[in-house]
Structure formats: C-alpha cells, structure tokens
Structure 1
Amino acid sequence: MTTTHVEAAPHRSLFGRLLRQLGIDTQYVLLGFPIGLITLVVGLTGFALGIGTAIIWVGLPILVGTLMVSRGFAMTERVRISPVLRRPSPHAIYKSNRGRGFVRRTLGPLSDQQTWLDWTHAIFRFIPSTIGFCFVVTWWAGTLAGLSYPLWDWALPHPPDNYELHELLGFSDTVGTRMMFNLSIGVFFAGTLYWVVRGVALMEAWFARSLLVAASELRLQVAEAEEARDVAQRQKQAAVSAEAVALRKLERDIHDGPQQRLVRLAMDLGRAEQQFTEDPERARAIVAEALSQTRETLDELRALSRGIAPPILVDRGLRAALTALAGRCTIPVDLDAPPMDRLDPGVESTAYFVVAEALTNVAKHSHANEVQVSVQRIDTGLIVTVADDGVGGASLAKGHGLAGLNDRVEAAGGVLAVDSPADGGTRLTAALPL
C-alpha cells in the first residue's frame, strides 16, 4: 500500500498542475475577449475624438486621457500574462516627466514610445482575443457536451426525417450508435483540450508581451550595455592613471636616488684617475668610496625593482612572493596565505602590489608594531586584507598615498576599502574578481 501511494503521488501532482494551468489559461482567454472589446471601443473612440478636436486644443487632453486609459489596461495585462507565461510579472519603462512644467507633464504621454505601444495593443488585441475565445468556447463546449451526452440524449427529439451527423457519416441510427458517436467526440475534445487552450493562451500572451514588454526590455538591455561600457571605460582610465602614476613615481625615484649616485660615482672615478700618479693612497680611498656607492646604488635599484612584478611571483606564484615580501618588511608580518592554485597573472600581480604598497606605507607612516596580511580565495574572487596596529588616518582620497593603489585595483575590476580611524589602526581590504 505504501509503495502504491508513493508511485501514484507524482501522477496526481502532474495532473493537478495540468488542471490548474488549464484553469488559468481558460480564464485568461475568456476574460481577454470582453476586455479586448472594451479597449478597442475606448481606444478607437478616444483616439478619433482626440485627433478630430486637436485643432481647437480640446483634443489633446482627450488624446492624453485615451493613452493613459490604454496604459492602465496594459498594466493589468502585464499582470494577467504572468501566470500564463510562468514568469514574474514584467514591468515596462515609461518616460519620466518629473521636474517639468504642468503642460509638459500633462502632454508627456504623447511623446512616450511605450504608451503608444500600449494603445496599439489596446486596438489590436481584439484579433487574437477573438480567435482564442472561439477556440476555447468550442473545445470546452465539445468536451462537456460530448462527455455528458448520454445523460441528456433522452431530452432531444429524434424524428425520422431528421438526419443527424452520425447518419450523414454513414453510421446506423440507433441509440447506442448515437451515444457512442457523441461520446467519442467528447473524448476527442477532452483529449486535446489542454493543448488547444494552452496554445491559444500563449498566442494571446506572447502578442501582449511583444508590445507591452519587449520594447522596454530592449531599452533596459541597451541601458545595461551602456553602463557596462561606461564601467569598462572607467576601468581603462583607472588603469592608464595607475600606470602613469607608477611610471612617474619610478622616474622620480630613479632621478632622486640611483641617478644622483651614478653621477657622483662618475665624478669620484674621474678624480681617482687624476690622483693615481700624484697621490695613489688618495686614489685608492676614492675607489673604495666608489665601491661603497656602487653597493648602495644596487640596493636602491633592487628596492625600485619591487615595483615591477618580481621573478618569484612569475615562477612560484602569489604565496611564495608574499612570503618573500613579508620577510623583507622592517615590521613583523603575520602572513595568512594558504596554498592555492595559480591565478590569472593580472590578479596575482594586483594582489602582490596591494600588499607591497600597504607594507611600504606601514613601514613609513604607521609606527605599527605588527602587521597582519591575509589572502583568501572565495567563489567569486580574491580577498586581500592588510591590517596594522599603527596610528591610522589613511585615506583613498586624491593626494594620499593610496589613491594610485585604488586606481590599480579598479583597473583590475576590483574594489579597495580602507578603515583607518584617527585613534589608531588601519585595515586595507581589496576584493579582486577572478
């Protein structure tokens, strides 16, 4: 008994869903016919009256009123087609007239494309509504009359000179034949009832959707495409800005550091060359100082090269590069970077520079005792967090040190957030999409 109940339940559930959809489609088509008749009369009458009296200005308010009535019927239809199409109730985009004068607000519907599409639907919906109504009434009448024919055959007169349909088709005129013939007709209509009603309901609903929703959806898609283009343009500009800032910073650092040392080194070597014949001891001292200058220049060049993706990041990945970066920091770093698969080179490079710039700022400005660096990979991206216990006060505003880093993160499609209260501590969080 239990097994039979479990197996039969899905069939009853399917039958219930079909029966429910049949009821929804039937009421949609049957109500659509009188509504379509009303919208046809109101739409044509109001439009003709408005156009005919527009020359004396009275027609403009009439025309606007007709369009607004059509808009009201359109809103109702959008709600009605939702259960038929098995989709959420769609919405249309109408032209906004806020902030305009009284006359422009009043006559605004005359320049709205969607409102005119609503009026067009009000006029022409009568065609699919009439076709659907005829099919639904015919199929329901054939189903109910055919299946119930044995119950009321006795009430019908059957005179000898009256030829019924089954006789015209060559069947004998007996009670049993007549009942079986009409019952078979009822079975045919009942068997095809769901599909016929469903088909005409979808025809009417898709006709409504094509006029009442499709144009708005197209405009919405265009707006989304334009917004995506603007976002891409902003990201491109941010990338160009970040690259320009990085190049200017690198140029300034080279000019202020290694370039000055190399100029001094050349001058010292020139003096040493002159001193070799007159004062060899002095020349050796100058050469020794030049060697010291060379070592310092190399150290500065290594420091500047950190602004370029290091070989360890390219060869061994983000975790190894961050470990090396933490080891070079002058402040103790607590690194939480679990092993992970290799990511997109752009994401790895951006994450590396976020940590590198953050650690540089901590070492220079925060007076912190400890830094915590965390890298977490989630389903949608990479979360990089750098937190210190320093003095705080960091900002992403233009003119601050993190503005260029923010541009780099935005260029990668990510978001950078800074929480740095003035009473101490800074938390920098970057979310990078994968």
Structure 2
Amino acid sequence: METTYAGAPATYPIAPARRFLRQLGVDTQYVLLGFPLGLLTIVLCMTGFALGLGTMIIWIGVPILAGSLAMSRGFAHLERLRINPVLRRRVPHPRYRTTKATSWIGKMFAPIADGQSWLDLVHGIFRFIPSTIAFCFTFTWWVGALAGLTYPLYDWALPHVPDNQELPELLGFPDTAAVRIVFNLAIGLFFAITLFPVVRGSALLEAQFARGLLSGVGELRRQVAEANAARDVAQEQKAAAVSAEATALRKLERDIHDGPQQRLVRLAMDLGRAEQQFAHDPEAARATVAEALTQTRETLDELRALSRGIAPPILVDRGLQAALTALAGRCTVPVDLDAPVVERLDPAVESAAYFVVAEALTNVAKHSHATEVQVSVQRNATGLLITVADDGVGGASLAKGHGLAGLDDRVKAAGGVLAVESPDGAGTRLTAALPL
C-alpha cells in the first residue's frame, strides 16, 4: 500500500503497522501540543480583544484590536500547518482582505474589515474547549495504557494493604500480588487496544473545529467558484454544440443542394426525355436511360459519402483506427497515419476524433497545396491527443468565418481544446485534446 503525506516529495510505500504508529504519533503530538497553545492563544486573544474593545471609545483600542487580529492570524496560520498531517490532506489557505491604502491608518483598518480575521480570533478564543477535551482523553488513555502494561515492573514499589487470602483462593490465584498484576494488565490492555481510535477521534475533534473556522469559509468560496466555472464551461460547451450542429446542418444542406439534388433534377429530366423518345426513337431512349442509370449510381455514391460524414458505419462497427485508415486512404494528399489500435472508446469521443481528422484532411486537400500530411492519434492518461500536420502554405485560423471555426465548436462541445499553428508558408499543425 502506498501513502503520500503532506510535504513529501514523492509517493513512497509504508507498511500498515508503520503507518498506524506514524498516525498515532502525529495525532498524539498534535493534541498534546494543542493544549498549551490553546492556553496561550485564549489568554492573548481574549486580552487583546477585551482591551481593544474596552478602549475603542478613545481610539487607542483600534490599533490594539488590529494587532490582536493580526496576532490571531499568525496563530491561525500555524494551526493550518499543524492540522495537515492529522487530516491527511493539505488545508487551503484562505484569502484575506487586502487594501490598496498606502498609509498606516488604512493598513491598520484592513484586518478589522476582514471576515476571516475575525474567524481567526474566534478560533483563538474558543479553541481551548476542544483542545481541553482532546487533551483529557488522549492523556488519560496514554497513561492508562502505559501504566497498566508496565505495572509488573513497579508493583513491588507501591504500598499495599495486608493480603486477604480469601479473595485469591476464590479467584484461584496463589496470592493477591498476582491478582493485582493481572487486573492492572487487563486495564492496560483495554487502554492499549482502544488507544488509536480514542486518540484519532480526539485529534479529529480538535482539527475539524480548527478547519471549520480557519478554512471552512475559504473552501466554501472555492467550491462556489469552481461550481460557477463548471457552469460557465458547460454553457460554453452547450453553445459550441449548438453552433457545431448548426454548422454541420448548413454544410449538409449545401452539399445535398450542390450534389445529389442537382443530379436528381437532371435524372428526372433525363427520364422525362427518355419517356418522350420511346415513341419515335427507342435507341436514343435506351441511351438516355443508360445515362440516367449512371447518374443514379453517382448520386448513390454521393449519398453514401454524405452518410459517412454523418455517421460512418466503419467507425461504429470497427472502431476509430479502422475508420481513420479508411479516411486516410480516400484523401487526395498522401497521409502518414500513426494511430495504434486501442480499446473501444466512448462513442462521443470516437466520433469527435474522427470528425477532427476528417475536417482537417478536407481542409488540407482543398486549401493547403500540401504534398504530405501526418496524422497522429495517441492516448494518454487524461485523454486523446490528435495531431494533423502538413507541409502546405499555412495561413489557417480558428477565427469565425474560417473553415476551422466549426471544428473548434465541435471539439469544445466534446469538452476538449483545439489549437492551430499555421504561419504563412510554413505549413499547418492542428492539435486537438479530447478528454476521456
């Protein structure tokens, strides 16, 4: 089993027994040291607060109160460092109110207007309560365990009443010394067995009290900020998905209008002409029908190509590597494909990766004037990294109005990021990262 402690440079293995004893030592020193610190902070913080509040009417209490808040902030910072190994995680440091004032008066009023500074002062005044409770339990259990387990070593030095022979005979022991030793050993064994959970619970009681006052508000603010950031990202992904869908529909409509629709119009005209020719020129009618059959096959080929752009069957049936191989084979520019076979990914990720490569190769074939393009698809611990690089004229951009804008929206809709490096005359390198 591996465990990482705060401040450790790397993860290293610790045996369960050693980890158990280490945590017991950490919790014990935390509680035993917390008791005198609690005494010190309650005296200093309470004195400073009472003195500052009492002399506030003559204004001398303002600097005293500000100094008390600054002092409590120092004790709070020390406590945050102490509770890290107890909670087995790093407690975040909250943000304190800052001021732009340059005068000493403005700087003096900054801690008084800061809510976290007052929470630090509250902790300094009331931390003695959980510290005392934790200290009493921890000290009692350690003394009970050590005194009970080592009782046979000092029983001879303790004064005892004259032996009562009836009790030993009743219990089956030869004399009362054995009764005392066994009884105290049993007590020591009880305290030793229950030592870790009691000390651990005492340390957590004191540490969680400190965490709630010293970092709870800061953690809550951070969680709210993260939730807001996640909401913004979700809204951006939603907008990108809507934009990508609209772009794909417009492209599909344009492709159908420019391709199959025109061919179907011509097919209808050819069939109408053949119908008129059958009456007076059957040979011309047959030639027209043959040409119509050719138009039908070409229309079917275009419809199949469009269907591959919507949902390529090879991607669904055989996976991303096979689909990219077929895509590279159809490209008019030679493609050097590096896409190792991996296990099947989420369909949304595979679809997004396929369309990134498909759109990139389409742009390379239409605009880059490249002689070669390299495609790499690699999976790492966090996601899928797709790179498409060509040796063309460059000048590609993700700005609206360019060919890659819709691709950028599609990648964002999948939760990924897209980057393009395309200096003029130096080729284009497109990189997309998709989360798994």
| In 2: Cα distance, 1:376 partner to 1:312 partner | 20
Q: Return the offset for 1:412.
A: 1.1
Given residue 43 of structure 1, which amino acid in structure 2 is its aligned partner? C
Say whether residues 1:94 and 2:95 are aligned partners: yes
| In 1: Cα distance, 2:226 partner to 2:390 partner | 40
Q: Return the offset for 1:241.
A: 1.2
SS of equivalent to 1:418: strand
Q: Return the offset for 1:250.
A: 2.6
CA distance 1:104–1:354, shift in 2 (3 Å): farther
| In 2: Cα distance, 1:23 partner to 1:356 partner | 60
Given residue 244 of structure 1, which amino acid in structure 2 is its aligned partner? A
CA distance 1:363–1:18, shift in 2 (3 Å): closer
Q: Return the offset for 1:264.
A: 6.5
Q: Return the offset for 1:100.
A: 6.8
Q: Return the offset for 1:391.
A: 2.5
1:107-118 → structure 2 map (5 Å cutoff)? 107-118=109-120
Q: Return the offset for 1:357.
A: 0.9
CA distance 1:342–1:191, shift in 2 (3 Å): closer
SS of equivalent to 1:395: coil
TM-score when normalising by structure 2: 0.74
| In 2: Cα distance, 1:259 partner to 1:18 partner | 75
- Contact map agreement 1:149 1:183 (CA 8 A) in 2: no
What is the identity percentage for the equivalent residue pairs of Structure 1 and Structure 2?
A: 65
Given residue 307 of structure 1, which amino acid in structure 2 is its aligned partner? G
User: Higher mean Cα deviation, 114-123 or 94-103?
Assistant: 94-103
- Contact map agreement 2:99 2:106 (CA 8 A) in 1: no
| In 2: Cα distance, 1:179 partner to 1:397 partner | 90
- Contact map agreement 2:393 2:424 (CA 8 A) in 1: yes
Given residue 47 of structure 2, which amino acid in structure 1 is its aligned partner? T
Q: Return the offset for 1:274.
A: 12
The answer for unaligned runs of 5 or more in structure 1 is 1-12, 159-163
Say whether residues 1:65 and 2:64 are aligned partners: no
- Contact map agreement 1:395 1:418 (CA 8 A) in 2: yes
Give the corresponding residue for 1:222.
224
Give the corresponding residue for 2:46.
44
Q: Return the offset for 1:432.
A: 2.3
Give the corresponding residue for 2:398.
396
1:409-424 → structure 2 map (5 Å cutoff)? 409-424=411-426
Say whether residues 1:119 and 2:121 are aligned partners: yes
Given residue 416 of structure 2, which amino acid in structure 1 is its aligned partner? G
| In 2: Cα distance, 1:71 partner to 1:419 partner | 49
Write the deviation string for residues 374-425 of structure 1: whole angstroms up to 9, x where unpaired. 3344454333333333233323333321121121112112232333343433
Give the corresponding residue for 1:130.
132
TM-score when normalising by structure 1: 0.74
SS of equivalent to 1:307: helix
Give the corresponding residue for 2:249.
247
| In 1: Cα distance, 2:220 partner to 2:66 partner | 25
- Contact map agreement 1:139 1:189 (CA 8 A) in 2: no
1:252-401 → structure 2 map (5 Å cutoff)? 252-259=254-261, 272=273, 291=292, 300-401=302-403
| In 1: Cα distance, 2:351 partner to 2:274 partner | 46
- Contact map agreement 1:396 1:418 (CA 8 A) in 2: yes
- Contact map agreement 1:358 1:386 (CA 8 A) in 2: yes
| In 2: Cα distance, 1:132 partner to 1:240 partner | 57
Given residue 77 of structure 1, which amino acid in structure 2 is its aligned partner? E
Given residue 42 of structure 2, which amino acid in structure 1 is its aligned partner? L
1:136-285 → structure 2 map (5 Å cutoff)? 136=138, 143=146, 147=151, 149=154, 153=158, 181=180, 185=184, 188=187, 192=191, 194-195=195-196, 197-259=199-261, 272=273
SS of equivalent to 2:309: coil
| In 1: Cα distance, 2:308 partner to 2:19 partner | 66
Given residue 235 of structure 1, which amino acid in structure 2 is its aligned partner? Q
CA distance 1:330–1:25, shift in 2 (3 Å): closer
- Contact map agreement 1:166 1:181 (CA 8 A) in 2: no
Q: Return the offset for 1:227.
A: 2.0
Alpha-carbon RMSD: 4.4
- Contact map agreement 1:384 1:429 (CA 8 A) in 2: yes
| In 2: Cα distance, 1:181 partner to 1:29 partner | 32
- Contact map agreement 2:241 2:409 (CA 8 A) in 1: yes
| In 2: Cα distance, 1:144 partner to 1:277 partner | 117
